[in-house]
Amino acid sequence: MSATALSYRKTFSLILKRDLTIAFRHKDEMLNPLLFFIIVVTLFPLGIGPETNTLAKIAPGIIWVSSLLATLLSLDRLFKADHNDGSLEQMLISPQPLFIFTLAKICAHWLLTGLPLILVAPLLAVLLHLPEQSYQALFLTLLFGTPVLSFIGAIGAALTVGIKKGGVLLSLIVLPLYIPVLIFATSAIDTASMSLPYGGQLAIIAALFFGTLTLAPFAVGAALKVSTN
């Protein structure tokens, strides 16, 4: 009956379910980053020209940069609504440890933005004439890389949640921190396109994933405490 009777797992699943329910009631908000991703990717062939070889060469970069930007666009609403209606404060003062909440919220964010990106990416890869042997690398780097984007981005979102017009500031803060993921992911896909083993790059992305998985929820918690004050 007391609030402490909630186990960590229960708290996690409650928050996750809550966030997913809220998101499914505003479907267009969920779809917008995805549409943005698709449109940005289509802009590149229009700007650069339709030569197959050029496109195939820059496809990993385009897909990854676009997914960085799409993730960035969706970060703003990660804590904003909860901050506005006061539920964020309730989470902060509840007896459950803060990292459970933040972990659940970030996981929900990834399910709503990262996962759709992974599902759409192969289609865009076909449009950009990505070599066939790179598909697996593209999938795996996105699978491990997009959660990293959500985790690091959540830190920035938590820091800027109290600021009125935090959108541009958020990108200024978060984009430099995204660089390692971008470098290793595109290098893995490039290596794969030459039919070479890309396990090393993938291992580093996975290491980044587990590092941020364990550390970022705490940083997000500290940041939320500062910005809700």
Partner 1 sequence: MWKWLHPYANPEVSYHFTDKIKPWFGWATFLLLSIGFVWALLFAPADYQQGESFRIFYIHVPSAILSAGIYAGMATAALCSLVWQFKLADASVSALAPIGAIFTAIALVTGAAWGKPMWGTWWVWDARLTSELILLFLYLGVIALNNAFDDKQMAGKAAGILALVGVINLPIIKYSVEWWNTLHQGATVSKLGAPAMAAEMYWPFLFCFLGFIGLVGYVTCIRFQTEVISRNKMRPWVRALVCDNNQPEEAK
Rounded least distance, CB 58 to partner 1, Å? 15
Is 196 a binding residue for partner 1 by CB under 8 A? The answer is no
DSSP state of 14: H
Among 112, 113, 118, 115, residue whose Cα is nearest residue 136: 118
Q: Which is nearer to partner 1, 192 or 223 (CB)?
A: 223
Is 227 a binding residue for partner 1 by CB under 8 A? The answer is yes
Rounded least distance, CB 210 to partner 1, Å? 13
Is 56 a binding residue for partner 1 by CB under 8 A? The answer is no
Is 215 a binding residue for partner 1 by CB under 8 A? The answer is yes
Separation between Cα atoms, residue 178 and residue 186, nearest integer Å: 12
DSSP letters, 150-172, are HHHHHHHHHHHTTSTT-HHHHHH
Among 172, 189, 196, 203, binds partner 1 (CB under 8 A): 172
Among 187, 188, 192, 198, binds partner 1 (CB under 8 A): 187
Residue 107, phi-psi category: left (phi > 0), alpha (psi -120 to 50), beta (remainder): alpha
Determine the size of the site formed for partner 1 (CB under 8 A): 28
Among 184, 193, 202, 206, binds partner 1 (CB under 8 A): 184
Within residues 120-139, the interface with partner 1 by CB under 8 A covers none
Range 167-171 contact pairs with CB under 8 angstroms and sequence separation of 24 or more: 167/76, 170/72, 170/75, 170/76, 171/72
Q: Which is nearer to partner 1, 125 or 155 (CB)?
A: 155
Is 191 a binding residue for partner 1 by CB under 8 A? The answer is no
3-class DSSP state of 202: helix
Within residues 142-161, the interface with partner 1 by CB under 8 A covers 152, 155-156, 159-160
Separation between Cα atoms, residue 183 and residue 177, nearest integer Å: 11
Separation between Cα atoms, residue 80 and residue 170, nearest integer Å: 12
Residues within the interface to partner 1 (CB under 8 A): 152, 155-156, 159-160, 162-163, 166, 169, 172-173, 175-177, 179-180, 183-184, 187, 204, 208, 215, 219, 222-223, 226-227, 229
